[in-house]
Amino acid sequence: MRKSTPDGPPDRLLALSDGVFAIAITLLVLDLSVPRGLDGAEYRRALRELLPDLGAYALSVVVLAGFWRDHRRIFRSVRQVDAQVVSLTVLGLGVAALLPFPTRLISDYGGQAASVAIYAAAVAALGASHLALVTVLTARPWLRTGAVVDEGYRRYALDMAATVAVFLVTIPLALTIGVAAMWWWLVLFPVKYALGRRDREAPHR
């Protein structure tokens, strides 16, 4: 591979990433509200109606926090960035900033299969941008510190690939069986656990 030209340390890129993720999470909260001037019965009804909003908010906070954590881990051993690393990071941040929109769809139209498919597509796109970033950094050791072990990046890539696959599969499932396709997301829990266990056992093999 032709050696790319480093374009400086990743500090400003990480600061931008932290800001975008923080703003995206903040935007999720703006849709949570209860009207004023309600009597007791109306107030309780408004709280019940708020439950889908809270569920969608919690889901997206977990998703965004997970991707932010993984992004920090990916850059932990990066000492230089190049144009492609910057482009892929900005692309991922654009998708992260977009996530409040499909979150609103899940909240307001959670019974519609299209809402589930759109949400899954957004998360898959965010995961794909991170997967592409890991792939580029794996192939460009001159951008990383000498202490980095390539196996660590390969494990990141496997983890991201699993996330992308699960959410991509959700799209046709949602269009076929409807909103029940969201239960498919639970597959990620045993998958992530298995990958994490493999990482913990790796030094002993």
Instruction: Output the pLDDT for position 196.
Output: 73
Regarding predicted confidence, which is higher, 197 or 107? 107
Instruction: Output the pLDDT for position 156.
Output: 84
Does the pLDDT value for residue 7 go beyond 80?
no
User: Could you tell me the pLDDT band of residue 122, with boundaries at 50, 70 and 90?
Assistant: very high
| Of 126, 143, 139, 135, nearest in space to 90 by CA | 126
Does the pLDDT value for residue 126 go beyond 90?
yes
The rounded mean pLDDT for the chain is 88
DSSP assignments along 173-195, one per residue: HHHHHGGGGGGGGGGHHHHHHHH
pLDDT tens-digit readout, 128-149: 999 999 999 988 888 888 655 5
